Structure 1
Amino acid sequence: MAKLSALICAHNEEQRLPACLAALSFCDEIVVVADRCSDGTEAIARQCGATVVSGIFPIEGPRKHAGIARCTGDWILELDADEGVTPAFAQEVRETIAREDAADWYQIPVDNYVGDQLVRHGWGGSFGTSSVARLFRHGHKSWKAERVHPGAKLEGRFGGRLTQPIQHMVDEDIADMFARLGRYTALRAQDLADSGKIKGVADDAFRGVRRFFKCYVSRKGYKEGELGFLISLMAALYPILSNLRAREILRGRARALGTERPIATPAPLPLRAKAVQ
């Protein structure tokens, strides 16, 4: 039988990790990458029999690659600590990788929850996804070096989309959504500042409108009511805020190096003597 490894990257996830690991008993091994953890994440992972990779991984690509290097399975299933799977999902995955004509990688649908509300529509624009390429043969997936949402390279034959979803607790509430937007744009801003690929305000605005339309109309975010509108709005704000924060980073770097151009202030107008009547 094909050997299946589960890969989880976690940062201070002692509250959610036990349930996630318990649901992965159908895998032959579990590898947990403990990134800068200061809580009980590593201890919990070891108690559950997982292989633990401990270190400092500020960029997602190297974090994933460090975990992949410790996986010994023929197949790898990626999960996050805030995700879970059902027995039906486990059965479908095992049946899929056991087929003689199995492809090299598969898309998996995602059921996204905000609190206890299942939100099926409107995800996109770097603020969420309804389908992910998380099941693949060892050596057939690699990641780029971005800090957030790194591009992934998938090699080999695509096998289509599974039917059973991953269950993803995206946000606890609306406040959590805003906090996530702040984290994402801060990380994206660092990537933009490092690369110098910062867009202008007009381009940002155009991309924002396009993203809102895609999420709210094309991906039917309107069906989710207020949450659908909010998700679409945050997807639209993502590039705008990321670029604004990137410009802020560059100004800070320039000040530190003493190369920032001072803002020119106009010379005061000369006072005119009042005519004596």
Structure 2
Amino acid sequence: MTRLSAVLCVHNEEQRLARCLDALGFADEIVLVLDRCTDRTRAIGEAYGAVMLSGVFPLEGSRRAAGMNAATGDWILEIDADEIVSAELAQEILASLDDTRFAFRKAPIDNYVGDRLIRHGWGGAFGTSLAARFYRRGSKRWGHERVHPGVTFDGPEGPKFTSPLHHQFADSVSDVFRRLDRYTDLKAQDLREHGGKMGIADNVWRGLRRFWKCYVKRRGWKEGGWGLMIAMMAGLYPLISALRADLDRPSVEAANEPAVALARAA
């Protein structure tokens, strides 16, 4: 029988985890990768019978790969604690488990800020409206970046799901700005370690292109002030990241910590 594993990478998610796990009852297995958790996240996972892997994972790719490798299902559904699988998407996923023609499929993402659904304008490394979260175990590979690592798949893409994954992108406008702060900090560490485009003029131009892409081509203007804010965040992302890479050089020592799995318990 074909099995499905839901895999989540979490850090101190006691406030949101239970609601996310409630929607995953259709999965045969839940795997939690606990990255330096100090709250009740582990206890919540135990209550749901999750397989848990604890460790220190500075890189997003190593966290997600650890979860995939710990899973026993034929297929992986990769979820974050701030996401909810809709009942309709769950049915589509279950109906596709025996289809061996494809290695992965993408699902649409409905992004919320507070109670506001924002459909248009996402992109430029600041949110997405479509993501490959369902894939055959062992078929996905991640890059070594700390944020938004590149991914590749061993095998062809299947048709897109039609039902959405609900994503609580942020709880408030302040949350959006905190996300920009976190993303640019991690990107700056990647730039210092791996290099990349750090020139001010070049990143101003990149930012303008990203703003245009989000606000005009992806119709962020339809969302009013919300779309303008998202487009501005996407446009500022490369410039702020480059500035922080230059100005914050001595600030982060943890970047060189190895990813170490500490414990695994069913």
Q: TM-score range by the shorter chain?
A: over 0.9
**For structure 2, which runs of at least 5 residues remain unmatched after alignment?**
253-266
Distance, in Å, in 2 between the alignment partners of 1:140 and 1:169 is 27
Amino acid in the other structure paired with 2:56: I
For 2:262, the equivalent position in structure 1 comes to: none
For 1:236, the equivalent position in structure 2 comes to: 235
Report if aligned partners of 1:8, 1:80 keep a CA contact under 8 Å in 2: yes
Structure 1 position 197, deviation (Å): 2.0
Structure 1 position 181, deviation (Å): 0.2
For 1:191, the equivalent position in structure 2 comes to: 190
Structure 1 position 196, deviation (Å): 2.7
For 1:89, the equivalent position in structure 2 comes to: 89
Amino acid in the other structure paired with 1:44: I
For 1:106, the equivalent position in structure 2 comes to: 105
Which shows bigger deviation, 196-205 or 120-129? 196-205
SS at 2:158's partner residue? strand
Normalised TM-score (structure 2): 0.92
Report if aligned partners of 2:140, 2:153 keep a CA contact under 8 Å in 1: yes
> Where in structure 2 are the equivalents of 1:24-173 lying within 5 Å?
24-99=24-99, 101-173=100-172
Distance, in Å, in 1 between the alignment partners of 2:82 and 2:195 is 33
Report if aligned partners of 1:20, 1:83 keep a CA contact under 8 Å in 2: yes
1:19 aligns with 2:19: yes
Larger radius of gyration: 1
Structure 1 position 65, deviation (Å): 1.1
Structure with larger RCO (C-alpha < 8 A, sep 6+): 2
For 1:3, the equivalent position in structure 2 comes to: 3
1:211 aligns with 2:210: yes
Residues 131 and 22 of structure 1: CA distance in aligned 2, closer, same or farther (over 3 Å): same
Distance, in Å, in 2 between the alignment partners of 1:102 and 1:40 is 40
> Where in structure 2 are the equivalents of 1:244-259 lying within 5 Å?
244-250=243-249
Structure 1 position 102, deviation (Å): 4.1
For 1:225, the equivalent position in structure 2 comes to: 224
Residues 13 and 252 of structure 1: CA distance in aligned 2, closer, same or farther (over 3 Å): closer
Distance, in Å, in 2 between the alignment partners of 1:91 and 1:252 is 47
Structure 1 position 46, deviation (Å): 1.1
Amino acid in the other structure paired with 1:159: G
SS at 1:54's partner residue? strand
Distance, in Å, in 2 between the alignment partners of 1:90 and 1:211 is 33
Amino acid in the other structure paired with 2:22: A
Normalised TM-score (structure 1): 0.89
Structure 1 position 98, deviation (Å): 2.5
Report if aligned partners of 1:112, 1:170 keep a CA contact under 8 Å in 2: yes
What are the Cα deviations for residues 31-69 of structure 1, in whole angstroms up to 9, with x where unaligned?
000101010001110111000111111110111111111
Structure 1 position 252, deviation (Å): 6.6
Structure 1 position 250, deviation (Å): 3.3
Q: What percent of counterpart residues are identical?
A: 52
Report if aligned partners of 1:193, 1:249 keep a CA contact under 8 Å in 2: no
Report if aligned partners of 1:114, 1:172 keep a CA contact under 8 Å in 2: yes
Structure 1 position 104, deviation (Å): 1.1
For 2:173, the equivalent position in structure 1 comes to: 174
Structure 1 position 87, deviation (Å): 1.7
Report if aligned partners of 2:198, 2:243 keep a CA contact under 8 Å in 1: no
Amino acid in the other structure paired with 1:151: G
| Residue-pair matches, total | 252
Distance, in Å, in 1 between the alignment partners of 2:196 and 2:155 is 31
What are the Cα deviations for residues 174-206 of structure 1, in whole angstroms up to 9, with x where unaligned?
100000000000000000011232421110110
SS at 2:249's partner residue? helix
Provide the aligned C-alpha RMSD in A.
1.2
Report if aligned partners of 2:197, 2:203 keep a CA contact under 8 Å in 1: no
Distance, in Å, in 1 between the alignment partners of 2:18 and 2:222 is 34
Distance, in Å, in 2 between the alignment partners of 1:15 and 1:248 is 34
Report if aligned partners of 2:2, 2:74 keep a CA contact under 8 Å in 1: yes
